[in-house]
A = this chain, B = another copy of it.
Amino acid sequence: MSAVDLTTHPGHLARRLQQAHHLLWTTMVSEEITSPQFGVLNALTAEPGLDQRTVGERVGLDRSTIAEVVSRLSRRGLLDKVRDPGDGRRFLLRLTDEGARTHRKLTVRTARMNQVFLAPLSAEEQALFLALIRRVSDAAEGLRAPEEPASTGPS
């Protein structure tokens, strides 16, 4: 006994929400390009020539995951990856023409998909919904780095 109601657990609901989103994405946007991959295309549309780590930061992918996503996109010819001549550690990423075209095409579809996804909510609820998720995520993200502020303390 003493089982818990999972529908009051934000983690469980977050997982279900992502599953629901994945379902809509594959049917309404693309079966080839995933949502994180679109995020990378989008980041490189905004800032071409970004290095791999920074792209990961923009999209919310850690160093290992961004490497895999980038290698898939590059294998499909959607982006180019070249060593930074000024810093031999970095890889600079840039969309190919086809990458840019793919991004344009998917942008339209994602907009439609987001509308359908959020359709059960009123306009105010939609804004509130997004704001609440952002606040919770940002707060938890903040717990990761202990912040060590430029100490005004002793020594």
Q: Report Cα–Cα, A42/B17, bound state, in Å.
A: 20
B140 A117 Cβ-Cβ under 8 A: yes
A133 B24 Cβ-Cβ under 8 A: no
Q: Which residue of B lies closest to A9 (CB)?
A: B114
Q: Which residue of B lies closest to A107 (CB)?
A: B4
A139-B119 contact in complex given A2-B104, A16-B60, A39-B6, C-beta closer than 8 Å: yes
A23-B125 contact in complex given A7-B130, A14-B18, C-beta closer than 8 Å: no
Of the listed residues A6, A7, A140, the one surrounded by the most CB atoms of chain B closer than 10 A to its CB is A140
Q: Report Cα–Cα, A118/B20, bound state, in Å.
A: 22
Of the listed residues A20, A21, A114, the one surrounded by the most CB atoms of chain B closer than 10 A to its CB is A20
Which chain B residues border A3 with CB–CB below 8 Å?
A: 42-43, 45-46, 103
Task: Give the number of copies in the complex.
Answer: 2
Report the minimum CB–CB distance from A33 to chain B (whole Å).
13
Q: Does A134 contact B (CB under 8 A)?
A: yes
Contact partner, A15, options B36, B120, B132, Cβ 8 Å = B36
Q: Which residue of B lies closest to A3 (CB)?
A: B46
A24 B143 Cβ-Cβ under 8 A: yes
B13 A130 Cβ-Cβ under 8 A: yes
Q: Does A87 contact B (CB under 8 A)?
A: no
A4-B42 contact in complex given A117-B10, A117-B136, C-beta closer than 8 Å: yes
Contact partner, A8, options B10, B130, B137, Cβ 8 Å = B130
